[in-house]
Structures are given as C-alpha cells and as structure tokens.
Structure 1
Amino acid sequence: MTDPAIAANGLRKSYGDKTVLDGVDLAVPEGTIFSLLGPNGAGKTTAVKVLSTLISPDPASGRIRVGGHDLTTAPQAVRAAIGVTGQFSAVDGLITGEENMLLMADLHHLSRLEGRQVTAELLERFDLTEAAKKPASTYSGGMKRRLDIAMTLVGNPRIIFLDEPTTGLDPRSRHTMWQIIRELVSDGVTVFLTTQYLEEADELADRIAVLNDGKIAAQGTAEELKRLIPGGHVRLRFTDPAAYQSAASALREVTCDDESLTLQLPSDGSQRELRSILDRLDSNGIEADELTVHTPDLDDVFFALTGGTAIPTQPKEAAR
C-alpha cells in the first residue's frame, strides 16, 4: 500500500475567535480525483490554502502530509510536489499566453531551452498554440482557464489543487475542463478539486467529502453518499387493473395510486434489490408496463448534510 498523496489528521485553522476548520480528516489516494464540497464559507478555500502551504495550520492540528512530505517541517518539499490553480486566474492579461508560460518556466528555474520546450508542448496540449502570440486579455474565459492550468503544469507537479476551476465558464468550456482533468489523472496526477457544481463532483470525483461548519459531514464515493439519504424508490406503472391489483398484493411496503395504476416501493436502487422486485413479479406472473428508479442525487445529499432547503425539482429517473 502506498501512502496517500494527501493525508490530514485533525486539520484546524482559526482566525481569532472564528474557527474555520475544526478537526478535518482527509486521505486522498494517489492518481485520483478528490472533491471537497460545501456551502459558501464552509472552509473549502481555507483547506486548499493550508494544504498548499499558502497559510499555516493551527499548532493544535494533527499530522498533515502532502506528497509524502510533512507540511509543517518540509513546506518547500511540499511546494515542489504540487501545483495550485485558484478561484481567480493567475494569468497576466498584459502579456501573451506564451509569455505567461515562459514566465512560469523562469520561476521554476528551467533553462531557456527547456522552458521553451515545455511551453510549446503545453500550449499544444491545451489547444492554445494559435493564440500563443496574442495578449491573454483577448482570451475567452475557457481559454484563460486552460492557460491557467497549463501554467500550473510547467513544474510537472504530481498533485494539483483546483479551487473552483470552472466557475463562470459556459457548459462547453466546463466539459472541456472536465476532459482536461480526466487526462491529468490518467497520467498519474492527483487532483484535489473544490467546486460549487454538484454535477461536477458527481461526474469527476473518485471520492467526495462534504464540508460544513468547518467539519467533514460525510465522505465517500458519490454512490455511497447518495445511499446515506432516504427517499430512493422504484415506481411501477400498469395499464391492466388486474395486474396492478396482483402486484399490490405481491409486493411489500408498497404505496398505491389507484387512479394512475402506479405502485411505489422504497429502494436504494441497487441491482440486488431490483432483481428481488422483478423476481417477485415474475413468480406471480405479473408484468409491469413501465419501471422507473429514483435515487437521491448529490443535491439531496448536499442539502441534507448542510442543513439547506432544496428547491423542489423534477425527480431524476432512469427509465427501464
């Protein structure tokens, strides 16, 4: 077993009497995407700043290791292993994209030849070669974000902190950014992602933690978190009243809607539970005209764990 890329035990950070992070425990395996969710002010950006050595944790914190290095005793070694893309672009709009890249290469003490090679490779990788000679101020939001991440990669970090990297991007640019993040991980990079888009965490993250009031409310895979929240169900619709009545008698814990000939059963949506329902129907010679599955999504998880009130939306269902 290899050590986690990021491991924090009892991470604490306070500003005067205000506690922002209150004993946070995290473990991020190498080569994975870890997403930290939470409402505004929950402490997500503070966590990124501490783990990336931009600010110091409280002395009362437990052991924190990033890239195999102790955050407190070896901050320089941590900085050499990581890259950071913050909420706000670090791109200098007064110079060209290429000049932004070369400036970053200088900051990493690369030779002139190596700096130009790395710059050319990254500009091509992020589809910025044609715009390389143009001032960065002329770039679209998506192009600036791609340039921002390209600049982060100049030092070849093995761990990257992305703090809300797609905020303000249009859907096409957001999906492009998702593809870039997946490609980074396929190359073995570990990504620590904060986001305000629950869909983004659901789409990308191997593991998710929900931060609320400075503490981890829950963490796990997206599917594990969804199973924490009640409300999942299977809905069966019939056109034959006799089949509807037979199914209502054959199934347990069922809610009936006689008007629409619809039955609803509590379910976690697992394959085993669906098979059990179908087996009971088959054993009684009953066939439903339509079966739909509803499981709680990350919106439900987020609001349940952070004490928010969800805006009523149309249930997301997968038709069978």
Structure 2
Amino acid sequence: MYIEQAFKVLHEWWRYFIGLFIVILAVIAGQIPFAAAVFMKSYETGEDLQGLDNSTVMSLLEPNLNLFLMLLSFAVGLVALLFVAKFLHKQTVVQLTTARSKIDWKRFWFSFFLWGIISSGFIWFDYFMSPEDYVLNFKLVPFIILLLIVVIFIPLQTSFEEYLFRGYLMQGIGLVAKNRWVPLLVTSLAFGLLHIANPEVDKLGYSIMIFYIGTGLFLGIMTLMDDGMELSLGFHAANNFFAALLVSADWTALQTHSVLKDISEPSKDMLTEMVLPVFLVFPILLLIMSKKYGWKNWKDKLFGSILEPERETIKSIGNNDENTTNL
C-alpha cells in the first residue's frame, strides 16, 4: 500500500513537521525574485500596489517573465522537498512516488495524454461554439519562449504540488491518523486552499473552490486506489501544460502568450463549466482507470486503517539497505 511505504523510512511525526516547515521556507524564498520584479516594475510605472487585485499585479510583468518567476518558487520547493525526503526521512523518490518497485512511467504518460486530449478538446470545442469569446493571441517568438518555460517548469510546478500533497503529506498524515480517509480529505482541502489566492477566486467567488478541492479529492483517490502517484502526476502536468499553451485570460493565474486569449467576462455559466468536471468528468475518468488497472476493494483503500508492519524498526532503516539513501 502507498501510505504504508512511509513505514520503511524514518517516519516520526516531528520529522514531517520540520520537513513541512523547511519546504514552506523554501517556497517563500523562491517567491522573492517575483516580488522584487513586481516592486521594481511598480516603482518604474508609479503604480500603487495597495488595493490591486492579484490579476492586475500579475499583469505588471511581461507574461513570459511573469510565468517564469511565478513557477520558480515551485521549483525551489520541489528541490527542498526532495532534500527533506532524502536527508530527514532517508526516503527515496521511488518510495515517495509509488508502492511499486519502480516508477511506472507508462501510467504517467497514459494519464498525461488522456487528460491532455480531453482538456484540449474542451478548449477547442468552446472556441468553435463561441468564437466571439476569443481572440487569436499567437506570436511565434514569445510562444517559443513560452514553450521552453512550460516544458521545463510546468512539470516542476505540478510535481511539487503532487509530491507535497499526494505524497509527503498523504503519507505523513496517514501514519498519524492511522487511516486513509483523513489524509485524503485533509490534503484535498489543503490543496484547494493553496489556490485561494488565485485571480479566478476574485472573479468567480469562493464557489470556484469546489473545483480546486474536488480536483484534489480526485487526485487523492487516484493515488490511493492505484498505490502510487504516477497517474496524478501525469494528469496534473497535462492540465497545466496544455492550459498554459492553448488559452489564457487577464483574470486567471496563467497569463501567457498562449494560442488563444479568452476575452469574455467571468460569469456564472463559466463557473458552472469549471465545476462540472468534478461531478461528471472526474468520476468517468476514475471509472476508466479502474477498469484499465483493475482497481478493487475501494472501501478499504479509501477508508481502511493504516497498520504498521510488526517487524518494521526504525533502527534498521538506512543502515543495511543502500537504496534508502539514494535518490
């Protein structure tokens, strides 16, 4: 089982507390370049940052620079998280990723392309149904720069969020709670709250949190049912990857040199379109994956108890198994 993987490494509760504190400090440090760039730009233009909403603050910088600096903090956070796993917990990337003996990249790519095709299809369908809501935003040179940033940094950003919520915290909270449903709910709520400062919340209201929390719940269910994060890693990477390249808007977190730009005003219909996948599309995807990977015993995997193996001892960790000290 995936959560039980943590019993193979140093797993006292205080290690997770210290580890999370280190990761948070790293993310804050990673945000310094973005904050400095925004303050410098506001000083040059005479813009008063007080009272500005998040989307306006983001629009102060050139889109590619804004995206790069925004994603930089997640890259720093990922490095810190892997550092914590290796040196504080003596945990390998494989143990943090999956209960399998090695990372199953076929699962990652299946999820990536499945959601990439579906999400891109939704975007193009809406474009052809409501072309008046979009303008062609494609510019070759800025788009090529965007593509480079997206290819390198979007996977780092989404992997950080997955390794933090569906990985590190899922395992740590699971060991403390001694069950699976508490870490599933807590990490889903925390994942949603991570996005509460997004510009979309300002425009669509707190109801949009249904989408973020629901997505966290969907990714958490995939992780627990599949005994690994490969599917959630692929889904999350595809979601942000194709969104950043295909469509952007002035009121979203991803303001990029995308192919299309949504110029419509945020509305209740738009909120419905964003929330609908939580109740319709995500359950269908879970059904597809359950059939493909033979998921069974849903009740135990999502609500069952976490039991420590009887012969597992902390003293033996890292002394005789060299694999526990290698990333």
TM-score tier (shorter) = under 0.3
Q: TM-score, normalised by structure 1?
A: 0.23
Higher relative contact order (CA 8 A, sep 6+): 2
Higher radius of gyration, 1 or 2: 1
Please state which structure has a larger fraction of its residues in strand: 1
Please state which structure has a larger fraction of its residues in helix: 2
